[in-house]
Structure 1
Amino acid sequence: MIHTLRVGSPGSRVIRHSGPGGLRFPAFTGSGFHIVLHGTCWLVSEDEEPVALEPGDVVLTTCGTEHGLSRTPCALAELPPVVMGPFPPAPGPFDFEFLCGSYRLDHGRVPQYLRTLPGLIVVSGRPGRHPELQALVALLRRDTTGTGMGAGATRPALQDLILVHALRRWHEQHDDAAPWPTTGDPGVDAALRAMHQNPGRQWTVAQLGDLAGMSRTAFSRRFAGVVGQPPKGYLIRCRLAHGARLLRETDATLATIARRIGYSTEFAFSSAFRREYGTSPSHFRVGGRPARRNGI
């Protein structure tokens, strides 16, 4: 998941707010987080009740869901949109201050793993609970607001670590240790498990339906309703995510990786990979990413 997000454009920024109201963050393609540094505020969303936040709390925006941070509980539509850009924090007194980090994906999609999680996740990071996370936040804040040598190189790495630690804390709280998504539907979960355990197999929808104990048509309808996309589309993204891990974690050739994840040729794998991630497998392997854009 981290390797996939690194294809995007990472950025971080400290924001301060004073007075009533707050700020609204429009939906975007990517993932990000907010960390409350000082003061108290409320997480506001379209469909859920406002959530009170205190210093140290982390809000994960898993799939770029529209949301807001406000001095008091309110409707999301009441908040003005934040002005995007690499601006320094506002001077003078403030009611609350928070650190933002984001991965904006100019190409491709948010990793499937993140799309299976709630759109907004709150992780308590209050003093004394998670010292490692607090240390990482302090380092990112220092690099985000400073101009020291090497700050531009360390910020993406610190964002990665903060995201990993925050997700780890959330999974610990929810006792979710499965290495693949689970839906609560036994038939769909059996098919998901099979695809993730053996992404290179030439699965057919009928075979997956048999594992789920359903007909091909009934399984396709159930899977799309529960997961949000057809079985074949999910399998393709599962294969490509596995291929992305092999590119970064092994020295296997493109042809070898293609065969391992179910593609008959290196060309077919490269074409599918470029459509999904917006870059070639070779460029992805060496850590390349599209040109960075301004923004938080």
Structure 2
Amino acid sequence: MPKGKGDKGTKLTLKNAKKAIRTTPDGRRRLILSNMGFAVFPKCLFKLTDLDELDLSRNQLEQLPDNLGNLTTLRWLDLHSNKLESIPETICNLVGLTHLNVCNNRITSAGLPQSLGFMTCLKSLNLGMNKLDRLPTTMEALGDLQELGLFDNLFAKLPEFVIALSNYAKVNIKRNPVSFAQGDGVRVVKKKLEPEEDMYVVYDNSLCRTCLKRCKENIGGGGGGGGGGDMVEDKRIRTYPGLMAPNSVATVDQDAWRIRKMEH
């Protein structure tokens, strides 16, 4: 597929890009360009006017073009494991995007666009393994979000508006210097797993009756008493698809990306 390498890394022709497009079982047009050595976003992609899914993960991209928002047909965008420090404001033009993965980059809080909150179709947003300590307040408008990855960042506390987004199904905040109080229907599930400790935020309305009852019992009686009520120990293994690590369709050397195999 590569046309050749130079100072700007691997190059891609429009002809080769078109040949690489595959149709998914549900009829979407997917282009996988993972681990291709791209240092610059391929300009020829802007000529693909009917692309639904784009995977540019595990490349060497340091920045995204300002006209990224021109790829308006995208529903799924994977940019994990690059060298990005920011996301352009024009990403808000991708109004139909449901899945965005920018995990394992170098993105700072200043590099997150305020326009992120205008992408109201987002169902999965993976911001893990970056340099974030706060989120744009506009994200409170993402009421349809089902998965939010914030693991391996610099959060000292959970952003207040996250609690207000009651439609969240799963929030992964493990390996952050996070400290926050339980409340507003949020339960902190602390799991003692060797060699490290995993921590997730689970909303009451996302728990079945049995699990919710057990959480309440642990807090009220068997949770250790006193300050122990702030944490609920749960020895069951829960999976968080898309939020455990970069996790794209390009499954190359998964152990290197800290993906832990879990059984239900």
TM range (shorter): under 0.3
Larger radius of gyration between Structure 1 and Structure 2: 1
TM-score relative to the length of structure 1: 0.24
